[in-house]
Amino acid sequence: MKINITARKFKARETLKDFIKDEISSLERFSDDIIEVDVILSFQNQKENIKSAEIIVRIPEHTLTATEDGEEFEYSVRKCTEKMISQLKKIKTKKIKH
């Protein structure tokens, strides 16, 4: 699984990158078919300090996305990961049914 981390208009700290890699690696428990994961971090509104995270997961025949806004990147990434887990579980159950 390849993980790409993009920080828009700022430089992400190494601790943040390590946190993201740990969170994304937890997705492997729910799908062995993950080819690539893109994580995009950005500031939605500089004045209100809203930090946005978007996770794009590519698996065969599907591209899944999840976005979340929050006051901290860690919170946004964690919530995106939770959304992605539910999407992966849904696809897995559809495969089992068919």
Domain count, the chain: 1
The pLDDT-based confidence of 49 (bands split at 50, 70, 90) is confident
22-34 confidence digits (pLDDT tens): 999 999 998 888 9
CA-to-CA distance for 2 and 37, rounded, in angstroms? 6
- Rounded to the nearest 10°, the torsion over CA 19, 12, 55, 96 is -30
53-71 pLDDT, tens digit each: 999 999 998 999 999 999 9
Residue 83 CA to residue 98 CA, distance in Å, equals 23
Q: What is the DSSP letter of 71?
A: S
Q: Which domain holds residue 24?
A: 2-97
46's CB contacts (< 8 A; 6+ apart) are none
Does the structure show a pLDDT above 70 at 46?
Answer: no
Secondary structure (3-state) at 30: coil
CATH number at residue 51: 3.30.160.100
